[in-house]
Amino acid sequence: MDFLTSHISRGADLLFKKDPRVEALLHPSPDDLDGLDHSIANLRGPSGTAAAPELVFQYSAALISHVNPLHIKEGITLMESLVFQYWAEERRRANAAAKQATVAGGLAATAPPSSDAVDELPKKKQPSLLPIYYYYMSLGWVKLDDPHKAKACITRMLDLEPQNPQGKALEAYIDQQQTRDGVIGLAGLSAAIAAAAVVVGTLRNK
């Protein structure tokens, strides 16, 4: 098993463990970074990026797992494309199911469906990676210091997996960061107000 496969597997395992380690994903070790650099270079390929959805996921997860902001931004963009593809496929399935129901209800022509129509019928769904997409996107936004987008993504993940321990751990981390930033912001605002009051008082005494 190469580094990337083991890294992604470890990330997926962490996603469902009872004792999640958010910090380990937020702050990879130097050895992890070396492995990520190697994996990113291999997955990028001659065309500049991976093509197959599975490779796109592995590539974007590796980018988000890095500490380079440019890598993280690229990874989030690619992960967003996977989310878009997922929902596009869901719409296609819904349309195909509706068409199948219409045929079954006798509301369409009685002739057998063409081979093209058969190809459009819903196929058996595989387990969805959508929660993991949202998780990595949230992780990326945390690293880019955008807690609002991070919170939105982890909320979507927890809508799909309400009891997911890794998602709940990341949500708690984001909430703590927002609380800390809010306290710091209020402290800064209070200091600014106090400074302004001093200036006003000085001007009045002149």
Q: Residue range 17-33: average pLDDT? A: 72
Q: Residue 5 — pLDDT band, cuts 50, 70, 90?
A: low
Per-residue pLDDT reduced to its tens digit, 53-109: 788 899 999 999 999 999 999 999 999 999 999 988 888 888 888 887 777 666 555
Cα three-residue angle 67-161-132, rounded to 5 degrees: 30
Only one residue has tokens 């605002």, namely 189
Give me the CATH code for the 3-205 domain, please: 1.25.40.10
End-to-end CA distance of the chain, in Å? 76
d(CA 56, CA 40): 11
DSSP 29: -
pLDDT in tens, 157-189: 999 999 888 888 888 888 888 786 655 444 554
Q: How high is the pLDDT of residue 1?
A: 47
